[in-house]
Structure 1
Amino acid sequence: MIENPAVPSAVLLRVLLSAEDEPLRRAFRDAPGLPRDVVEVMLVHPEQAVRAAVAANPYIDAEQRGRLVHDRRRVVLANLFGYRTHPDGEPRPLPDAAYEAFFAARQWANAAREDQPWDELRLLEAMNRCASMPHRLRQALARHPQPGLRRFAARFVGGLSAEDRAALLTDPDPDVRAEAREVAGDDAEVYAGIDIDWDPENWGHSWVFGSRRVEREAMERVVRGEDCPDHYRSALAGNPHLPPDLVAVLARDEDPYVRDRVSLRPELTEEERAAIDYRVPELTDLDEVAWYPYLARSQSPVDYARSAHPVRRRQAACAPGLPDEVRDGLLADPDPGVRVLTCRHQIGVPAEDLLRAYREFRGRHRWRLTYRPGFPAHGLARFAADPDPAMRELVVLDPQAPAVVVAGLLADPERCVRTTLARHPAVPVERLLTMLDDPELAPYAARNPSLPIEAMHRILDATGVPGRG
């Protein structure tokens, strides 16, 4: 019921004031459209579970959530800077002042206690992974007046400019210099075979072969497949330090996954890429490719978009802020994965393209496409008899769907259609009240905006939530 967009503040506050229903409180982290006055109460609630729910809720106004940077509980801060994004795929950044206040306060400096499990490093690493934090602010840590934050920036020198890296290596603070030099030394270190776990039964040093410098003899051993884990070859296929002649060998590897990895190496020409017998995987999960934007930033996304390799074009589709002409070209791409990911990540996509992508994509998190700006709502009742159940579900988004159409879908043979349409405001109140006694439909009827407030209170009464009257 908390997810009901029409639930009034009085009902929500009744739940918040319940001292014994923590699971119900945690549901606030996924509730859309919470009233501002309710959020204000949650921001200062004595229970950290409530404040953590505000911190993690992607629907809440960024200015309100940003005030939690002053929270004294690290679990709240970790939720605030976590990697949850809005269902439309876009991270919601906090105001710049919120990030700056977090760094200035140094709230993480105290040693971790038993009731405060987030130590300084883990919290800062959560901040570093924060997808919504503008990269320019992350880079600014290298020039922060506090040595502790410059030292943290030194752990990620690979993402800094040459000038900032050089400044950290000669920083006036000895701890900052030591950290920067240690990381720089790690990047320059060449791993010898004697330092590597070669046991075929172990996961071993995949991370070394995937990104670090390795002596040639060890690389050749992996390429030949001599007494080493098979997955070392697929890791090595993406290693930026792999010599061209060994790249050519792995491009003909018997393992198709190895060839797939080689085909995406950025230094290859389009002709070299086309000569590899690679596969194009089916797009099965909108969230599986959430890391594509970071790959596409290693070169110009426009270059990726012009590639003949469909997966590289998918990577371009996920890079934010593509020029309109590049976006429009990807929307007309022959690869369905490119078209769907363009709709998922780009702004200004026409409604007909968004609807087409929803119809074409049959993988996980398909419904998230309906959250994209511009997804059509009016006229969706025409899909009430579509053979695809997910298309019939779209009728719930049509505010003008006739009541008779909605009533028919409540008896649909597919459970997903019945439960989805139970949330349509065209369901008569009398029918809604009877659905509250239906074990299948009751949880979804409780989210219907036409549900009377008195019925909402009765639901809380039945679940034992105190506060009535």
Structure 2
Amino acid sequence: MDGLGGALERAAADGDVVDGWLQGLAGNPALPVEALARLLEFDELPMPGSWLRYRTLDAAATELLVASPQLQHRLDVAENPTADIDVLARLARDPEPRVRFVYAVMLFEHKRRVPPGVLEILAEDPEPKIRRIAGGTGEPPVVVREPAPAPVLTAEQRVTHPDRAVRLEAAADPEVPTALALRLAADPENDVRLAVSMREELTEAQRTVIPCTVWQQFWSPPSWIARRATDPDAARRIARSAHVGLRRVLAAQPHLAPDVVALLAADEDEWVRRTLAERCEDAPHELLVELYATVQDRYWSGFRHHRNFARPGLARFADDPNPRLRHAALDDPEAGPELVLRLADDPEVGGRAVADPRLPAEELLRRLTLPARAAAAASNPALPVAVMHRLLDLARER
């Protein structure tokens, strides 16, 4: 480290390099709690103020933040979904009401496990809004008059009702006879006609004559498709339906038979394929890679996080002209240091390659001195702890 030490000292004269070190260390998943504590001592850090909400925290790091005298640290750890649940329980007695409130909201709205005794503490909190969240005694309830019961409508009254919401509900209700529901095939509202067209009992011929626009996604998809999706024969029939809406809803199911997945992955409709890739855990690797490489909106990178994306063979894209595919090459679990080193100087994917723990150690350390790669190198989990502390020493001396 002697030769490296001199290079780091010279690099520390560049403020951009030092800022890169601090940014990288803040995102380094292997940063030990002692180094995290030192990082938090800086008065100003070149990261967004919410960075602690998003980094992975083990029990020791959670304890550090829960005990921090800085209010923002305690607020951030209360919102961090990776923080240790049992250590977080101490926030139920935090002296600052804002911390207790955020902790209570995250605990109940995000359905976290409730450690023993926490519910009782929060239910007796001095703040009424915290007591209400925990189900304790809050403000006196406002007495409201019970509304008069709505009149019961017949099926005929529902399908002819002037209120669009009533007709929409009737259109999808299996209790409404098919003959009555089909009257709504000529309804002036597209959503009503669409709901009729997706009724379970309709034939393909009946569906195709109903004029309607099928939206890309559904807020309230027909529930019968989820029930039928577990029956391979029924799922195959839906996957072959001419009604694109049925196929899109089927593609959103978490698990499907392999041949049904294959049918949907080859569907001519882009949103059937996208929904399958985004929502179905059985989406095929080839489809995920295709969409990752070609989708043009801001959701393109999400396909890489599907469980079927990374697999041996992706290294074949290391020289592909598409930078997304060169990026994907780094997800090949069998690729070695040579591939990572080859991509480390790539202008478009080099940052991720430098952050890859497979990068040879000497190359990783060398890149700590380069302004364009200092942050990526400092975020590499293979960075020796001694080097992490040296970077903090130099940043403190700046």
**TM-score, normalization: structure 2?**
0.64
Q: 2:76 aligns with which of 53, 57, 63?
A: 53
Q: CA deviation at 1:82?
A: 5.7
Which residue of structure 1 lines up, in the alignment, with residue 249 of structure 2? Answer: 315
CA RMSD of aligned residues (A): 4.6
CA change 1:399–1:332 in 2 (3 A) is same
CA change 1:364–1:39 in 2 (3 A) is same
CA change 1:35–1:100 in 2 (3 A) is closer
CA change 1:314–1:248 in 2 (3 A) is closer
Matched, 1:445 2:377: yes
Looking at structure 2, the residues matched to 444 and 465 of structure 1 have their Cα atoms a distance apart, in angstroms, of: 22
Residue-by-residue CA offset, 1:103-151 (whole Å, 9 max, x unaligned):
8832667246xxxxxx777x68xxxxxxxxxxxxxxxxxxx8x6879x9
Q: CA deviation at 1:393?
A: 0.8
- SS, match of residue 449 in structure 1: coil
Contact 1:29 1:53 in 2 (8 A): yes
Residue-by-residue CA offset, 1:42-83 (whole Å, 9 max, x unaligned):
233343432333333334455555665665521333345566
Contact 1:3 1:447 in 2 (8 A): yes
Matched, 1:29 2:53: yes
Looking at structure 2, the residues matched to 147 and 215 of structure 1 have their Cα atoms a distance apart, in angstroms, of: 46
Residue-by-residue CA offset, 1:360-385 (whole Å, 9 max, x unaligned):
35243333333344543444322212
Looking at structure 2, the residues matched to 12 and 448 of structure 1 have their Cα atoms a distance apart, in angstroms, of: 15
Looking at structure 1, the residues matched to 375 and 48 of structure 2 have their Cα atoms a distance apart, in angstroms, of: 13
Q: 1:76 aligns with which of 103, 108, 121?
A: 103
Which residue of structure 1 lines up, in the alignment, with residue 13 of structure 2? Answer: none
Looking at structure 1, the residues matched to 45 and 364 of structure 2 have their Cα atoms a distance apart, in angstroms, of: 25
Residue-by-residue CA offset, 1:304-361 (whole Å, 9 max, x unaligned):
75643434443344455x5x54x762454143544554454445x38xx145323235
Which residue of structure 2 lines up, in the alignment, with residue 204 of structure 1? Answer: none
CA change 1:248–1:395 in 2 (3 A) is same
Q: 1:240 aligns with which of 142, 166, 169?
A: 169
Which residue type is aligned with residue 7 of structure 1?
L
Looking at structure 1, the residues matched to 71 and 253 of structure 2 have their Cα atoms a distance apart, in angstroms, of: 36
CA change 1:448–1:186 in 2 (3 A) is farther
Looking at structure 1, the residues matched to 338 and 107 of structure 2 have their Cα atoms a distance apart, in angstroms, of: 44
What pairs with 1:269-348 in structure 2 (closer than 5 Å)? 269-271=201-203, 272-279=206-213, 295-296=220-221, 298-299=223-224, 301-303=226-228, 307=238, 308=241, 309-319=243-253, 322=255, 325=257, 329-330=260-261, 332-333=263-264, 334-335=266-267, 337-347=271-281
Matched, 1:435 2:367: yes
CA change 1:238–1:214 in 2 (3 A) is closer
Contact 1:263 1:273 in 2 (8 A): no
Which residue type is aligned with residue 240 of structure 1?
E
In structure 2, list runs of 5 or more residues that go unmatched: 1-24, 153-157, 172-179, 230-234
- SS, match of residue 397 in structure 1: coil
Looking at structure 2, the residues matched to 437 and 187 of structure 1 have their Cα atoms a distance apart, in angstroms, of: 73
CA change 1:269–1:214 in 2 (3 A) is closer
Q: Tell which structure's C-alpha radius of gyration is larger.
A: 2
CA change 1:337–1:245 in 2 (3 A) is closer
Residue-by-residue CA offset, 1:12-41 (whole Å, 9 max, x unaligned):
122245565595673122213x33311222
Equivalent pairs counted in the alignment come to 339
In structure 1, list runs of 5 or more residues that go unmatched: 84-92, 113-118, 125-143, 152-174, 191-212, 220-235, 283-288
Which residue type is aligned with residue 74 of structure 1?
F
Which residue type is aligned with residue 29 of structure 1?
R
Contact 1:56 1:82 in 2 (8 A): no
Looking at structure 1, the residues matched to 168 and 116 of structure 2 have their Cα atoms a distance apart, in angstroms, of: 34
Q: CA deviation at 1:100?
A: 9.3
What pairs with 1:124-203 in structure 2 (closer than 5 Å)? 182=146, 185=147, 188=150
Contact 1:319 1:345 in 2 (8 A): yes
Contact 2:66 2:74 in 1 (8 A): yes
CA change 1:296–1:277 in 2 (3 A) is closer
Q: 2:127 aligns with which of 89, 110, 113?
A: 110
- SS, match of residue 2 in structure 1: helix
Q: CA deviation at 1:464?
A: 4.8
Matched, 1:398 2:332: yes
Looking at structure 2, the residues matched to 76 and 238 of structure 1 have their Cα atoms a distance apart, in angstroms, of: 43
Matched, 1:389 2:320: no
Residue-by-residue CA offset, 1:228-279 (whole Å, 9 max, x unaligned):
xxxxxxxx698426795884334xx6xxxx6367424565754444323445
Q: 1:11 aligns with which of 3, 18, 35?
A: 35
CA change 1:462–1:98 in 2 (3 A) is same
Identity rate, percent? 26
Looking at structure 2, the residues matched to 186 and 47 of structure 1 have their Cα atoms a distance apart, in angstroms, of: 52
Which residue type is aligned with residue 103 of structure 2?
V
Contact 2:341 2:359 in 1 (8 A): yes
The structure whose RCO (Cα within 8 Å, separation 6+) is larger is 2
CA change 1:10–1:189 in 2 (3 A) is farther
Looking at structure 2, the residues matched to 300 and 109 of structure 1 have their Cα atoms a distance apart, in angstroms, of: 48
